[in-house]
């Protein structure tokens, strides 16, 4: 990060850090992982970059126990004083460290809390192999500060080296250069040479093994999961090559996937060099791999050019969704990518309806000050952001848009970007070359107004048009077994299920289930689209499968709508509470935080 970039950053409402005075530039981390006490303990040494005459370093923390702090230079450090600010439920606490004159680094001896929100500690029964415990982190959006005292703002980047000690015969992995073999001592060394923001700090520890897919790609997973994962993601190298063809060279050397236990709260997390993914995309037929294309695309949009604050989240996600669908189109053709576009658009319309026509949360540029960014971030950043780029493509053509995006990534690599700077860049590099284009695009309405501007082109899919015809036929009396479903992908099934009327009686669902075994589908997306209908109809043959799904899977995208549907069903409150009591220990805090509120447990 250059000095000028640091000085021009907008204030981050979710960080106590003052990077414009002194910023962190390199981390030396030494951590021991204790599965008995559910804590990490060690020393974080931050090497600093002074932007002025600052005498204090401001860091973010939450629930950390600080034992000692020294400051000085790489040859000598002396104890220094520090002060913790008043705790805030969302932001945690500031850690204000006195810097002696000329101090170029500080070392913090600390320990995490067993309740650290970023960390999920699984006992052996909660893993696929049932042999060893498991630990993984989820730092986005502002949870890195629960396991590392840091400048926890996406506008601050640093490189790092780490030593991590784990129980013997377990493997540790980070968002860094990673080991491919376990060692008997359980001590691992990591190096991340490209500067990253704190939310991309990641650690996973477990009974893990590795299989290479190509010279620069591979899969980490529990040994029992590894064969299925290796087969599911066989196209990984092709994906990386397709992405590079679109928007320039991959900048992070290796690209590996880590398949986590099912309690991982998200579909994926784009931790650099090592994407974390949910096992719920192991469908057996490679039908849910667009999620991997999404995380891979973040290697450019997000990890290379990073939203400066969470208010600018659409710059990470809108570009990534657009890029993801372009990768999928390159690999599997336009009709396939069109299905993904329509599914995304359906989700966007649903979110717009939920938030209402006047909601400022449907602007691309958000105002999340005073709110937990994890709760404020929704489909808008992803799908409305993508839709803006799709509209631009519609107006100027792909060739020019692709050249713009490629240059945008190249020129701002390893830097952060806020909405105002992006718009200035977009004007200068693209819009101003086409008189009247900015007005035609209705740029201001996309960024600072609710809803979708009228210029947005329609989103359609021929394959889904055929699904809709089948749906009409079935509703008109054609038996399930006569529908032309043989070639349907899981996307067609999901679209079909989304299109079913809300009030279908149980015997109609039974007829579908007998023909297509939906209740026993191995595809998580199909199950998540099916269960709301079975709950609404009181179709009891699906109840056990639903409960098993809620107990096994911790992915919030599935849990929230399913618990809502369960709460709305007859006896739903009691059933939801009973399942939640059983399932909650298996959920990460970002999932249980949302569900506690939904189920009145907070």
Span near Zn ion by CB under 5 A; candidates 109-117, 125-133, 309-317, 496-504: 309-317
Residue in 382, 408, 539, 580 annotated catalytic: 382
Considering only residues 382 through 421, tell me which ones interact with Zn ion, judged by CB under 5 A. Answer: none
Residue in 270, 295, 324, 393 annotated catalytic: 295
Task: Answer whether 97's CB lies under 8 Å from 80's CB.
Answer: yes
- Return the number of the residue (232 or 317) whose C-beta is nearest Zn ion: 317
- Return the number of the residue (299 or 470) whose C-beta is nearest Zn ion: 299
Span near Zn ion by CB under 5 A; candidates 229-237, 316-324, 389-397, 451-459: 316-324
Give how many residues touch Zn ion by CB under 5 A. Answer: 2
- Return the number of the residue (62 or 384) whose C-beta is nearest Zn ion: 384
**Coil/strand/helix, residue 301:** strand
Beta bridge mates, 107: 45, 70
Write down the least CB distance from residue 317 to Zn ion, Å.
5
- Return the number of the residue (262 or 268) whose C-beta is nearest Zn ion: 268
Cα–Cα distance for residue pair 562/551, rounded to 1 Å: 12
Write down the least CB distance from residue 581 to Zn ion, Å.
31
- Return the number of the residue (64 or 291) whose C-beta is nearest Zn ion: 291
Cα–Cα distance for residue pair 525/281, rounded to 1 Å: 8
DSSP structure class, residue 380:
I
Write down the least CB distance from residue 409 to Zn ion, Å.
16
Angstrom CA distances, 400 to 261, 314, 395, 405, stand at: 42, 21, 10, 9
Binding mask 73-112 for Zn ion (x = CB under 5 A): ----------------------------------------
Task: Answer whether 263's CB lies under 8 Å from 119's CB.
Answer: no
Q: Tell me if residue 270 is catalytic.
A: no
Cα–Cα distance for residue pair 87/94, rounded to 1 Å: 8
- Return the number of the residue (58 or 310) whose C-beta is nearest Zn ion: 310
Span near Zn ion by CB under 5 A; candidates 134-142, 315-323, 384-392, 439-447: 315-323
Write down the least CB distance from residue 292 to Zn ion, Å.
12
Write down the least CB distance from residue 301 to Zn ion, Å.
8
Residues whose CB falls within 8 Å of the CB of residue 548, separated by 6 or more in sequence, listed in order = none
Among 218, 217, 200, 197, CA closest to 209: 218
Cα–Cα distance for residue pair 586/120, rounded to 1 Å: 9
Beta bridge mates, 209: 221
Binding mask 319-348 for Zn ion (x = CB under 5 A): -x----------------------------
DSSP structure class, residue 108:
E
Cα–Cα distance for residue pair 177/159, rounded to 1 Å: 12
Give the angle 231-234-240 at the CA atoms, nearest 5°: 155
Q: Tell me if residue 232 is catalytic.
A: no
Span near Zn ion by CB under 5 A; candidates 39-47, 119-127, 161-169, 317-325: 317-325
Cα–Cα distance for residue pair 451/458, rounded to 1 Å: 15
Write down the least CB distance from residue 373 to Zn ion, Å.
14
Beta bridge mates, 137: 119
Q: Which residues bind to Zn ion, rule: CB under 5 A?
A: 317, 320
Residues known to be catalytic: 295, 382
């Amino acid at each position: 990060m250059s000095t000028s970039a640091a000085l021009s950053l907008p204030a981050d409402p979710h960080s106590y850090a003052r990077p414009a005075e002194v910023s962190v530039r390199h981390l030396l981390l030494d951590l021991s992982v204790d599965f008995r006490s559910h804590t990490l303990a060690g020393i974080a040494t931050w090497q600093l970059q002074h932007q002025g005459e600052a005498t204090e370093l401001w860091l973010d923390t939450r629930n950390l126990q600080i034992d000692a702090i020294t400051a000085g230079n790489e040859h000598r450090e002396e104890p220094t004083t520090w002060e913790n600010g008043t705790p805030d439920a969302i932001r945690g606490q500031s850690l204000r460290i006195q810097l002696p004159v000329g101090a170029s680094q500080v070392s913090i001896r600390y320990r995490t809390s067993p309740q650290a929100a970023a960390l999920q500690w699984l006992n052996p029964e909660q893993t696929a192999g049932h042999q060893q415990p498991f630990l993984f982190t989820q730092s986005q959006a502002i949870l890195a500060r629960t396991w590392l005292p840091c400048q926890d703002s996406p506008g601050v980047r640093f490189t790092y080296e780490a030593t991590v000690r784990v129980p013997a015969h377990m493997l540790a992995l980070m968002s860094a250069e990673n080991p491919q073999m376990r060692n008997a001592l359980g001590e691992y060394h990591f190096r991340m040479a490209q500067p990253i923001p704190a939310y991309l700090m990641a650690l996973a520890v477990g009974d893990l093994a590795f299989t290479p897919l190509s010279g620069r790609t591979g899969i980490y997973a529990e040994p029992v999961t590894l064969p299925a994962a290796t087969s599911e993601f066989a196209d990984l190298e092709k994906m990386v090559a397709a992405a590079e063809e679109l928007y320039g060279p991959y900048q992070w050397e290796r690209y590996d996937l880590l398949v986590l236990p099912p309690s991982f709260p998200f579909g994926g997390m784009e931790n650099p060099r090592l994407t974390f993914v949910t096992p719920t995309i192991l469908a057996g037929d490679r039908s849910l791999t667009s999620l991997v294309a999404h995380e891979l695309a973040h290697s450019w949009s997000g990890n290379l050019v990073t939203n400066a604050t969470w208010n600018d989240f659409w710059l990470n996600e809108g570009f990534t969704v657009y890029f993801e669908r372009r990768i999928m189109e390159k690999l599997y053709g336009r009709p396939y990518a069109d299905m993904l576009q329509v599914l995304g658009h359906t989700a966007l319309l649903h979110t717009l309806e939920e938030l209402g026509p006047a909601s400022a949360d449907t602007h691309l540029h958000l105002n999340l000050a005073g709110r937990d960014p994890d709760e404020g971030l929704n489909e808008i950043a992803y799908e409305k952001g993508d839709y803006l780029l799709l509209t631009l493509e519609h107006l100027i053509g792909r060739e020019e848009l692709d050249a713009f995006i490629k240059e945008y990534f190249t020129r701002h690599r390893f830097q952060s970007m806020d909405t105002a700077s992006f718009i200035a860049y977009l004007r200068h590099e693209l819009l101003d070359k086409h008189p009247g284009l900015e007005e035609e695009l209705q740029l201001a309405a996309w960024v600072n107004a609710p809803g979708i501007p009228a210029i947005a082109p329609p989103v359609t899919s021929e394959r889904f048009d055929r699904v809709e015809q089948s749906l009409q036929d079935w509703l008109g009396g054609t038996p399930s077994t006569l529908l032309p479903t043989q070639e349907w992908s899981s996307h067609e099934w999901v679209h079909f299920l989304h299109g079913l009327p809300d009030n279908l009686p149980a015997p109609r669902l039974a007829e579908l289930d007998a023909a297509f075994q939906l209740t026993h589908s191995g595809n998580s997306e199909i199950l998540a689209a099916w269960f709301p209908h079975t709950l609404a109809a009181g179709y009891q043959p699906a109840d056990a499968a639903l409960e098993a799904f809620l107990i096994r899977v911790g992915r919030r995208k599935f849990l929230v709508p399913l618990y809502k549907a369960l709460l709305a069903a007859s006896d739903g409150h009691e059933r939801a509470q009973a399942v939640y009591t059983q399932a909650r220990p298996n959920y990460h805090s970002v999932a249980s935080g949302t569900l506690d509120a939904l189920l009145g447990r907070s």
